[in-house]
Structure 1
Amino acid sequence: MASKRQQGECMKSNKKKRKVNNCEETAELCRVVRDENVKRAVKEAWSLKSHYTHGDLELDCDPFPHCVIKNFISSENFLENLQTELLMLNFQAKSNDLYKFKQSDDLRKQTKPHIAGLRSALFSQFRLWLEEVLDVKLEPTVDISCAKYEYTDILLCHDDELEGRRVAFILYLVPSWLSSDGGSLDLYTTDGHFQPQSVVKSLVPSWNTLVLFEVSPVSFHQVSEVLSQDKCRLSLSGWFHGPSLERHPRHIEPLMSRNEHLPRDETLLLEWINPLYLDISYQEQIQEEFEESSEIQLKDFLREEKFSQVCEALQLAQIQWAQKGPANKRCYESARLDTLPECVSACWELLHSEAFFLLLSNFTGLRLHYLCPADDDDGDDGGENKDKEKKESCEKDDKATGSSNETSIESEPSTPTCCGELRRWSHSSYTLLHDGEAARAEYALDLILPFSCAGWQSEFGGFSCYVANEEDEELLTIYPEDNSLALVYRDKETLKFVKHVNHRSKSNSSTG
């Protein structure tokens, strides 16, 4: 269909477009990028995975190939104006299991002159430089956005791999920055399963420095937590797109072993549990509330004297702790069960006992033990069939400590099984959502029983979040509260993570 726009209107539109283009400021790249001899040398070194340095450029291949170019933009005046334009943008707070920071919208169509000028330099001149260095064809458009990291902000361990991403880059526009300010770009080695092992190099942000690396199965890195309370870590980052590097099959972790429950009777409950929760009529009230929302918190769950004993014992040096990883999935400490003090072992025994599973059945209405009556009311009303396999996960969380168990119940009468670990949560602890967890998701009853977290605040992190699989929607958050047993029933489409415990937690007066 012919356009109804008049010819004069078209001419005005074109004139307007030319005016916008004329507003773009030119971003001149540094001399080292324009040097043909340097480009050939970088290309050779990259292909050989060898070290190379020349002036403001350094290529290092340990633990994976990455290039650092200082004084990337020639004009200081351009940089200052670029920084001003960036700080005028609208930033959205971003927070999930992996990160916490503020981010601008995609800058691909941003018309501010210095932002447009830098984008143009990256899309054209620098992209061509990269194509020659890597000997690979890159797409003409680049993902680019601006990020602000402030106190306690972080981006945890990941490899950046996503279909089409070939080269990642970061341009820093930070004030004078020290390693003690945090916010470094940490690079990880990998083990025989291509999983992150340990940080071996930390790049401290510096003004007008560009860092780039190929996105690969071993390009694990993180932005360490920002520790400065008065500095802003401002950066432009994104990806050049092209054919992805070959990926090795993802390592599948073995399942946590499951053991039979301990044959203990109700005398153990009488010894440990607040008598209020052993009252049958109160258990019925709990079950009604639980069945309505699929979650409940039972405050003052253990007898006060027993809870205090466990808290004190968890501080004893005899407990041996081991770091649990890999960092792209989790970071916390787990206790060796054979080193636990007597009262902690007794509490662990309680949570694994047959009597406790029967009590949980009364709390939830779930068939967590073969002696529990089957729920005959479950028909075709859309409710979950109680004869499906169930999993019970018991977690005892301390600011520095925690544990987890599992019980499965099948349609035929069987002995329930459980698995778990005693965990310690402290600064820098977390768990992340990952593909392996999603693939193994099942119906589960999770238990969280925190210890030694008096004075804990939500801004410290360390809380448990439940989210819908492959969605950002947060379904439920459980905050650590001393001696408050949280029960959460989840389906196969619900996943959970523990939010990164940040630097603020060090100001907490309670011990762990």
Structure 2
Amino acid sequence: MSSSEQLFAINPAFNDSTFIDCFKDWYSKHATEPFIKDGCCLLKLPFSCASFENFLQPDLSIVSQPYKSAEDLVNKVESEARLLPFEPRCNDMFTFKQSVDIVNLLKDEQHVEYKSSILVKLRSFLLSDVLPWLEKLTGAPLERDRIDFTSSIYGTHDVLLCHDDELDNRRIAFIWYLVPKDWDASVEGGCLELFSCQPEEQIHVPPIGEKPTTPVNPWKITASIPPRRNMFAFFEPSSYSFHQVSETLGSRDRLSLHGWFHGPPLPRPSERCHPTSVPLVSPIHVEEELVYRWINPFYLDMRQQTKIRRRFLKSSEIQLVNFLKLEEWGRACNALSSVTEPVWSTCGPFNRKHFDVLSEMSKYATQTDAVPEPLRELYRLFRSEAMLVILSDLTGIRLHPSALASDTKVEDIKPPATKHARLEPDGDCVPNAHSTSSHTVSDPEMAALNDPQFRRWRTGYYTLLADSDVVDTAWRLECVLHLGGYGQPNAQNTTESSLGDRVTNWQQSWGGQLVYIARDEKSELLSVLPVDNSLTLVYTGPGTASFVKYINHAARPCPLKDCSDGPENCLSAFDLSVVYHEPLSEGRSDDESNAADNTESSGDEDIVDSELEAENDDL
């Protein structure tokens, strides 16, 4: 008789042969209704996921059983779990603390007592009793002696975002919850949320073992399982099993023990397509007056451009404060607050991104009834050849053949006789009404760009990294104009934090930072905290990618400039995102970078720092 048998037993209500037969029959059916019986709930949509309340019980058939109730047994497991060494884990997808795998306690020669701990016995019980029980319920063949088993603690604002758990030969994912008995998920969060990958008009039970013939992406949360003490939940990872742990909102933490049983791998879909990639478009020609009306003259001054360029060439990144003239910035903020809800669309899928966007801005560029004029003007400005020249002069990246010429003026920039756009395989060129040409292949000496996007950010919004992001081989200038909701260090408009304090700028603890990482690097390369009316420029290349950190429920966006302080204006932050792709004929060589570094002086860098700070003070 094993030591695990002396402590644990599956709740008899779930280990009865009649229950097992009923569950197995329902599990294998294509029925869409849930199976509910004796504290068990088997959801069939959006994919099969089962939960069992009061799951673990003490084995009272053993005379020497030290725990006479399930409550005593669960309390003992929790007390030992909280003594485990936990390490903080944080990346684009999650923030929480996690322990080592429990199997490592068996190998710890310095702590012999671990080998007889209740957690080690629980691991043995999972292999000896729970594994064969799961095989009976699901029919899934499982490896008899292999299990991943660890513990996680989700503190305030911790979260695990949308993913599918498909990796190697994971066959069953399981979670055993150790939250307080009075945990209220409506207030404290921490739910297991399940995503649907199917259109509402085509709902069916996803086949676990079949390879999808169409792209599978998560678009909507359709089920939510609140954690309960001593509740066991499981599902089979598959092409459809997208799920997340919702943000923990209260002051109490969410403790669980969880892991995977292993078996023969299931068929996997081919590389998932990215259904909402931003198309490449051609730059357009704009009138001179538009440039001078919108952009702060500080950034059009050649002397200042030289100083900024020298600093940028050394660091490959910069944040230019007060980039727009204050009056025009106010017009833009007012316009953003007036955009009606139907014009905004949700950008996904959830395993890649979640925010709102003014989609198809090129279509709205000539429609005065949909998007206000200031936003159409900004869109045209950041898509223009004039902006390519200005950004070239600010960064030293040659995005336009007329850039970096001492006698070049904005009004001298003329559109070439023909303009073309390099296209991604799934991209479309969307010519603007102000463009002089509708060709689809770009001038090799001129940068192509992703269609500029106005984005709206709210609590729960984020972007995630994908493998394809990091292996991108293109050199590019990523440009984000932070328009409103973030505040400014010395601004007069304030908003209340979750603690009731008055703040004037975006807090790092809220998330929302623009983060850059490199392939195979654990630490961040760069983290940019947004500031209202600032332009963030980052030159990045192969093996580097960026994401926007999850915005948690503590976030309190600042009121937009020149807008009312109504509740709707305090819910969101806004930016304009553009990526300029360096022309194929260009590329900054090491020799060019070194030459630029050798010509600059520390004095110039100090001067540009102080002058940028002065720009921020002149609000």
Question: TM-score, structure 2 length as denominator?
Answer: 0.70
Partner of 1:370: 401
Distance 1:164 1:273, change over 3 A: same
Deviations 1:266-304 (A, max 9, x none): 543322222221121211111111111111111111112
CA distance in structure 2 between the aligned counterparts of 1:154 and 1:441, rounded to whole angstroms: 31
Distance 1:24 1:87, change over 3 A: farther
> 2:16 corresponds to which letter in structure 1?
D
Which of 277, 280, 283 is the equivalent residue of 1:258? 280
CA distance in structure 1 between the aligned counterparts of 2:318 and 2:449, rounded to whole angstroms: 23
Shift, 1:41, TM fit: 2.8
Partner of 2:249: 227
Distance 1:352 1:164, change over 3 A: same
Distance 1:70 1:186, change over 3 A: same
Partner of 1:348: 379
Partner of 1:381: none
Q: Within the alignment, does 1:81 sit opposite 2:79 as a pair? A: no
Correspondences of 1:130-209 after superposition (within 5 Å): 130-139=134-143, 140-175=145-180, 176-180=182-186, 181-191=188-198, 193-209=215-231
Contact 2:393 2:404 in 1 (8 A): no
Of residues 499-508 and 298-307 in structure 1, the stretch that sits farther from structure 2 once superposed is 499-508
Contact 1:24 1:113 in 2 (8 A): no
Secondary structure of the 1:504 match is coil
Query: Which structure has more RCO (C-alpha within 8 Å, separation ≥ 6)?
Result: 2
Partner of 1:477: 527
Distance 1:236 1:22, change over 3 A: closer
Percentage identity across paired residues of the two chains = 35
Distance 1:329 1:34, change over 3 A: same
Which of 447, 460, 464 is the equivalent residue of 1:432? 464
Distance 1:366 1:409, change over 3 A: farther
CA distance in structure 2 between the aligned counterparts of 1:508 and 1:118, rounded to whole angstroms: 49
Of residues 175-184 and 232-241 in structure 1, the stretch that sits farther from structure 2 once superposed is 175-184
Deviations 1:169-197 (A, max 9, x none): 01011111223121111111112632112
Shift, 1:249, TM fit: 2.3
Deviations 1:183-231 (A, max 9, x none): 1111111126321121111111101000000010000111111122x22
Contact 1:164 1:243 in 2 (8 A): yes
Shift, 1:46, TM fit: 2.0
CA distance in structure 1 between the aligned counterparts of 2:43 and 2:324, rounded to whole angstroms: 55
Partner of 2:46: 63
Deviations 1:231-259 (A, max 9, x none): 21111111111112212223323542222
Deviations 1:419-466 (A, max 9, x none): 121110111111111234345452110011112211211111111111
Distance 1:23 1:196, change over 3 A: closer
Partner of 2:61: none
Distance 1:509 1:233, change over 3 A: farther
Partner of 1:330: 353
Deviations 1:37-58 (A, max 9, x none): 3223322322224443432333
Which of 433, 447, 450 is the equivalent residue of 2:482? 450
Contact 2:3 2:121 in 1 (8 A): no
CA distance in structure 2 between the aligned counterparts of 1:77 and 1:422, rounded to whole angstroms: 55
Name the Cα RMSD after superposition.
Answer: 2.6
Secondary structure of the 1:315 match is helix
Which of 21, 30, 36 is the equivalent residue of 2:11? 30
Partner of 2:603: none
Of residues 433-442 and 111-120 in structure 1, the stretch that sits farther from structure 2 once superposed is 433-442
> 2:84 corresponds to which letter in structure 1?
L
Secondary structure of the 2:525 match is strand
Distance 1:365 1:243, change over 3 A: same
Question: TM-score, structure 1 length as denominator?
Answer: 0.84
Correspondences of 1:206-355 after superposition (within 5 Å): 206-228=228-250, 230-253=251-274, 255-264=277-286, 266-318=288-340, 320-336=343-359, 337=361, 338=364, 339-355=370-386
